[in-house]
Chains A and B, each alone.
Chain A
């Protein structure tokens, strides 16, 4: 490939496609923002009186509409925005508790530079100017020393300002961005997309028969699904809920099957077997829209309910009943796709099977079925980034053998890739694989780490390994609102303004009810904090002062970059960015500022992918029951069941789950949420507890191959005897989180780091633990 081709592809890959921003002429851009922040750092609020400001929540990923009641410049209450129909007129516990976020005593209030040893917690306050210089200087030093910009990894998770973090990454030119999907839903995206070419939604509001596999909608809130699941539940709707735990979702289900962990694929294949064998599928739909039904018909034969019963411990009669009901109510029947699907090493096949089952009964793009997402297109900015010569390709693309992060059982032995992640996300990467490669050091060194709104030390399995990887860094910088574990082990900590103090760009929330939201400040920033956009601007402006940071780029490229990114986006107020996003819709900016929401229709969208000539984004252009790309890559084109590893006698499988009052490891250090749950406890089945001499409330030690934690026992009938569970987000090691420091147990400390090698997802239910009375 010639240099010019490389240059083209690099720029194309990095730059967002779409409409170029017309040169915006706004006077006093960044200066104004700085002035406002300085005023309020002194605690002088000009805004007396009472006002109601619409914006959107950021306590989890749902972005529910809120209206802040602000009295004399202080948030009194956050209330639901009744016009924001995606969140169905509600705010959950976290959404309400968000009112405390700006006032939390543990907030980061100014940039902090480490002065003691890493992890000692000794920091001194510095100015933003100094902080920006330090980042730029370190980025330059690493680039020169290792002659590779990709020696710096950029960790982030989703959020409205993540885009600006990625603008910073692209300004520097590292290819190593590691985003949240492989700790979350990479396998569900991969699995469902391998069938339909897209990840669809479930229409819970009109479905008559629903199979939910471990999707704990009552405790892991997804709007509008969680709300529709009870508030708008259609009369007569039946829910079959499959989970080793009796969760709050189980309390609402018509049937609860406490499935043997790791065998969900057997259950789904057996249902498919009944529907195919008994001819209960939608023949017309299958003929018209799908590819490979004949192969599926052959493939599915051995997977009878009687066979599955032995694997998943759900009676064959129940499986048959489920299959008959599923077919009877189709197309208003669905397998709920789920969200955090980082469970097992064969997860992609399991999700594929769910898609296939849905497809053969024709539950596609109809009310009550599985529906492809619709969206409201926004005008895109089109910044140009230089092509940098000193940037290697993704580290996790070249790791080689994955042996150390794959379990040794019949799944991997016979059917899963062992040399690399087959469908590694170009921008998302794979957390576990990346860290493994960084530690192996056999591709190139990783010496810098910049993290935004993510806490790898607590969110990624095998905490000891993450800390070990951080030890090898020359420079670690973390951007957050509180002193996360990752911040605690950093050299430089940059405080972001909370979601209630800043402008955030518009986001088009796609789905059956597409809607556009954004954020505007409901109060002025309380401390010396900045938004990610301002932080990116500050760092990039400093980088531009260092010539050696630009010497491996074409000078013309750098000029384009300055004009299209630095001047037109980073150095402009966010309002201008938002106005451009909404420029296709006259009056939309004024409307969204006033009402907190913009949409084209409040009616659900159905049917666009059921038309005569629909071409699906798959190789065959049809719904692929048999996947052609998988065949090409040497993967099973149809989902093959292979038995998972089982705990040795005396050990338990550790499984994960959620509570409705916390988001991952991000919200535990909030007074209101802490009030609900102060520490976590280990769910253990009554019989097993009796056997081990453990009583409710006793402290126990949970020990895996990679670590151990002490935690209180919750002795209950609500979990199978072969597994144990405790909630995420406790057992914290940052002393900067005063409410949760050293309380309860951390999952990251005991989870083994296994992966699902098709999507690169962490496989978080592959850890076996011993339990002993403490």
Chain B
């Protein structure tokens, strides 16, 4: 199989919630300084326990680049589409801002981009991939929580990580089959 199948594997135990990924994404993709405009984010999950026995985890998230794509199926103009590598993109010219995809997305990964007058979301930095560069969030991450690569290449780091670790995906019960894998250590 020659086709690439891109995925991101995350080791959230290493996440410091430092927000480097979110800022890198905003700069790279010219996301405007507006509340609610974000392609990726990090959530500090609810604090567990009572003082002084406390525990807290962080969960970076974004468009999950689902294989079963609810946003795509509801889009009346086919503005949302999948590339051969499985990256979910939006064609700004075709988008009529009906927001059906925002409603359909179980991950709240889409927002209205005021400059483009279109729905926007994570593209896995598709424009960088052609140049052999990693997505901006992956490249900048201080502790390398994120690993990007090709699932069809058994020697890629993502394939190896998924071979040797247990993992989960977000909202698996929605049957969206996401391309973001969260490993359990």
Q: How far is the CA of A231 from the CA of B141 in the complex (A)?
A: 10
* Interface bits A226-263 vs B (CB < 8 Å: 1, else 0): 11001100000000000000101011100010100000
- Beta-carbon contact of B143 and A231 below 8 Å: yes
Residues of A within 8 A of B1 (CB): none
**Contact bitstring A670-703, B, C-beta under 8 A = 1, else 0:** 0111111000000001100000000000000000
> Is A246 in contact with B20, judged by CB distance below 8 angstroms?
no
Q: Is B108 located at the chain interface by the 8 A CB criterion?
A: no
A672–B54 CB distance below 8 A: no
Nearest CB to that of B34 among chain A residues?
A675
Chain B, range 95-138, C-beta contacts under 8 Å to A: 136
Q: Say yes or no: A661-B18 contact (C-beta < 8 A), given A97-B23, A672-B23, A717-B49.
A: yes
State whether B24 touches A96 (Cβ < 8 A): yes
* Minimum CB–CB distance for B15 against chain A, Å: 8
Task: Say yes or no: is A221 at the interface (Cβ < 8 Å to chain B).
Answer: yes
Which residues in chain B, 26-66, are within 8 Å of chain A measured between CB atoms?
26-28, 33, 47, 49-52, 54-58
Chain A neighbourhood of B24, CB < 8 A: 77, 91, 96
Nearest CB of A to B132, in Å:
13
**In the assembled complex, B85 has its CB within 8 A of some CB on chain A:** no
- B24 shortest CB reach to chain A, Å: 5
A258 and B51 contacting across the interface, CB-CB below 8 Å: yes
How many angstroms between the C-alpha atoms of A280 and B163 in the bound complex? 44
Interface size of B by CB at 8 A reads 30
> Quick check: is A718 within 8 A (CB to CB) of the other chain?
yes
- Report B-chain residues with C-beta under 8 Å of the C-beta of A80: 139-140
Q: Does B82 contact A (CB under 8 A)?
A: no
Complex-state Cα separation, A79 to B21, whole angstroms: 11
Is there contact, CB below 8 Å, between B27 and A227?
Answer: no
A residues near B52, Cβ cutoff 8 Å = 246, 256, 258
Q: Once the chains are docked, how many angstroms separate the CA of A231 from the CA of B13?
A: 10
Cβ-defined contact, B47 with A717, below 8 A: yes
Residues of A close to B18: CB separation below 8 A: 92-93, 218-219, 221, 248, 660-661
Tally of chain A residues near chain B (CB < 8 A): 47
Question: What residue in chain B is nearest A228 (Cβ atoms)?
Answer: B143
Contacts of B136 in A (CB 8 A): 77, 79
- Beta-carbon contact of B142 and A717 below 8 Å: no
Q: How far is the CA of A203 from the CA of B98 in the complex (A)?
A: 55
Considering the chains assembled together, what is the distance between the CA atoms of A231 and B15 in angstroms?
Answer: 9
Among B139-177, those with CB < 8 Å from A are 139-144
Count of A-B contacts with CB under 8 A?
A: 117
**With A and B bound together, what is the CA distance between A661 and B51 in angstroms?**
26
A219–B16 touching, CB < 8 Å? yes
Across-interface contacts of B54 in A (CB, < 8 A): 246, 250, 256, 717-718
Chain B residues near A717 (CB-CB < 8 A): 47, 49-51, 54
The answer, yes or no, to whether B5 is at the interface (CB within 8 Å) is no
Residues 58 to 89 of chain A near chain B (Cβ within 8 Å) = 76-80, 88-89
Interfacial chain B residues near A218, Cβ < 8 Å:
16-18
Distance of A256 Cα from B52 Cα, bound (Å): 8
* Nearest CB in chain B: distance from A384 CB, A: 44
Q: Is the CB of A90 within 8 A of B17?
A: no
Pair A675/B142 contact, Cβ less than 8 Å: no
- Does B94 touch A at the CB level, under 8 Å? no
If the complex has contacts A90-B20, A660-B19, are A251 and B57 also in contact, measured as CB distance less than 8 A? yes
With an 8 A cutoff between CB atoms, is A95 at the interface? Answer: yes
- Separation of A227 and B28 alpha carbons in the complex (Å): 23
Please report the C-alpha to C-alpha distance between residue A248 and residue B33 in the assembled complex, in whole angstroms.
26
Report whether A248 and B16 are in contact in the complex, using a CB–CB cutoff of 8 Å.
yes
Contacts of A100 in B (CB 8 A): 27
Q: Are B26 and A672 in contact (CB under 8 A)?
A: yes
Closest A residue to B17 using CB positions: A248
A716 interface residue (CB < 8 Å to B):
yes
Chain A positions within 8 Å of B26 at CB level: 96, 672, 675
Residue on A nearest B48 in the bound complex, by CB: A717
Picked from B17, B27, B55, the residue with its CB within 8 Å of the CB of A672 is B27
Chain A residue nearest in CB terms to B133: A79
Do A227 and B143 touch (CB < 8 A)?
Answer: yes
Q: How far is the CA of A94 from the CA of B139 in the complex (A)?
A: 15
Binary flags per residue of B63-76, CB closer than 8 Å to A gives 1, else 0: 00000000000000
Set of chain A residues within 8 Å of B27, measured between Cβ atoms: 77-78, 96-97, 99-100, 672
B80 within 8 A of A: no
- Name the residue on A nearest B136 (C-beta): A77
Tell whether, in the assembled complex, residue B47 and residue A252 are in contact, meaning their CB atoms are under 8 Å apart. Answer: no
Residue of A at shortest CB range from B25? A96
Known A-B contacts A80-B140, A96-B27, A230-B14; A676 and B19 likewise in contact (beta carbons under 8 Å)? yes
**A661 neighbours in B (Cβ, 8 Å):** 18-19, 23
B14–A91 CB distance below 8 A: no
By a CB distance below 8 angstroms, the chain B residues around A720 are: 51
Q: Which residues of A contact B142 (CB under 8 A)?
A: 88, 90, 92, 221, 226-227, 230-231
Bound Cα distance from A251 to B47, whole angstroms: 10
Q: Is the Cβ of B139 less than 8 Å from the Cβ of A79? A: yes
Given A78-B27, A227-B142, A672-B27, CB of A93 within 8 Å of CB of B51: no
Query: Given A97-B23, A230-B16, A250-B54, A674 and B33 touching (CB < 8 A)?
Result: yes
Interface string of A87-124 (1 = CB under 8 A from B): 01111111111011000000000000000000000000
- In the complex, A367 Cα to B33 Cα: how many Å? 45
Report yes or no: B47 in contact with A718, Cβ–Cβ below 8 A.
Answer: yes
Residues of A within 8 A of B140 (CB): 79-80, 90-92, 95-96
* Distance of B96 from chain A, by nearest CB (Å): 28
- Selected from A90, A93, A716, the residue in CB contact (under 8 A) with B47 is A716
- For A221, list chain B residues within 8 Å (CB): 18, 142
Determine whether the beta carbon of B139 is less than 8 Å from that of A96.
no
Please report the C-alpha to C-alpha distance between residue A100 and residue B140 in the assembled complex, in whole angstroms: 17
Contacts of A686 in B (CB 8 A): 51
Quote the shortest CB–CB distance from B145 to chain A (angstroms).
Answer: 8
Measured CB to CB, the closest approach of chain B to A686, in angstroms, equals 8
Q: In the complex, how many angstroms separate the beta carbon of B14 from the nearest chain A beta carbon? A: 4
Is there an interface contact between A675 and B33, defined as CB atoms closer than 8 Å? yes
Give chain B residues whose Cβ lies under 8 Å from the Cβ of A92.
18, 20, 140, 142
Between A94, A250, A251, A258, the greatest number of chain B beta carbons within 10 A of the residue's beta carbon is seen for A251
Q: What residues of chain B lie closer than 8 Å to A716, measured between beta carbons?
A: 47
Q: Which residues of B contact A230 (CB under 8 A)?
A: 14, 16, 142-143
Interface centre among B27, B54, B142, B143 (most CB of A within 10 A): B142
Instruction: List the A residue with the shortest CB-CB distance to B37.
Output: A675
**Cα distance A227–B145 in the bound complex, in angstroms:** 11
Q: How far is the CA of A258 from the CA of B22 in the complex (A)?
A: 31
Q: Which residue of A lies closest to B28 (CB)?
A: A77
What is the CB-to-nearest-CB distance from A311 to chain B, in angstroms, rounded to a whole number?
A: 17
Which B residues are CB-close (under 8 A) to A89? 139, 144
CA distance A79 to B136 in the complex (A): 8
Specify the chain A residue showing the minimal Cβ separation from B26.
Answer: A672
A93 near B57 (CB under 8 angstroms)?
no
By a CB distance below 8 angstroms, the chain B residues around A258 are 51-52
**Nearest-Cβ distance from residue A380 to partner chain B, whole angstroms:** 33
Residues of A within 8 A of B141 (CB): 90
User: Interface 1/0s, chain A 344-364, versus B by CB < 8 A?
Assistant: 000000000000000000000
Which residues on the A side are within 8 Å of B14 (C-beta)?
A: 230-231
Quote the shortest CB–CB distance from A318 to chain B (angstroms).
Answer: 11
Question: Bound complex: CA of A252 vs CA of B142, how far in Å?
Answer: 15
What chain B residues lie within 8 Å of A675 (beta carbons)?
Answer: 26, 33
A-B contact pairs, 12 of them (CB 8 A): A76-B28, A79-B139, A80-B139, A92-B18, A94-B23, A96-B23, A230-B142, A231-B143, A248-B18, A660-B18, A676-B22, A717-B47
Additional pairs, 4, CB under 8 Å, beyond known A88-B142, A95-B140, A252-B16: A76-B28, A99-B27, A248-B16, A718-B47
Give 10 closest A-B pairs by Cβ, nearest first: A660-B18, A90-B142, A230-B143, A96-B23, A231-B143, A93-B19, A93-B23, A218-B16, A717-B51, A671-B33
Binding site for A on B (CB under 8 A): 14, 16-20, 22-24, 26-28, 33, 47, 49-52, 54-58, 136, 139-144
